[in-house]
Amino acid sequence: MKAVIQTQFRENYGAHDWDGEGECPQYWKSKGGSTYIFDITIEQNMSREFWAIVEAAVTHRRNYSEEYIIGETVIDDIDFDVSEHVEEWESPIYLTIEGEKVSATQTRMADLMWRNGFVSSTETYTLKGGTEFEQDDFLLTYQMEDGRTLTYQEWVAEQKDAA
């Protein structure tokens, strides 16, 4: 089975000028959200503990921003069609869940702003949500027009050598 979670991301514009003293000003603006897709078993779907791990990984709340779940769907693999859950311009985040470790992979296709031979970029990382949102083990790679895959560091080094 597949699970699809839709989130809403909001930023608190009131916190930008906040000096950290007293109560943080509140001026929230919605800024889109994410679509998370992952495999799930029947046992996981019935487990409150499993869903608590997923929720903690994909949500966060702090004075400056928050992301929260606005929808979730569980679908049989045979009935799953990603285009029914993701807009054509959107890049879903695919999750892998092993115990309490939630790993994420997101591949974005290059658009016209990218003029450096990129076809796509892929980010992989481990999610730690809750009040202290973190991403560990972050790796950014680029798929190049010539077929090579470069890490960000390799791409930067290549640009320096070309200059």
What string of DSSP letters covers 98-126? ETTEEEEEEEEE--TT--SSEEEEEEEEE
Number of domains in the chain: 1
CA triplet 74, 104, 56: central angle to 5 degrees? 65
Q: Report the Cα–Cα distance between both ends of the chain, in Å, rounded.
A: 49
Contact between 54 and 40 under an 8 Å Cβ cutoff? The reply is: no
Render each residue's pLDDT in the chain as its tens digit; 163 residues: 999 999 999 998 877 777 778 787 788 899 999 999 999 999 999 999 999 999 988 998 888 889 999 999 999 999 999 999 998 888 899 998 888 888 888 887 766 445 567 777 787 877 765 544 556 677 888 888 888 888 888 888 887 887 7
Give the global pTM. Answer: 0.81
In terms of residue numbers, what domain contains 65? 2-162
Q: How many CB atoms within 10 Å of residue 85?
A: 18
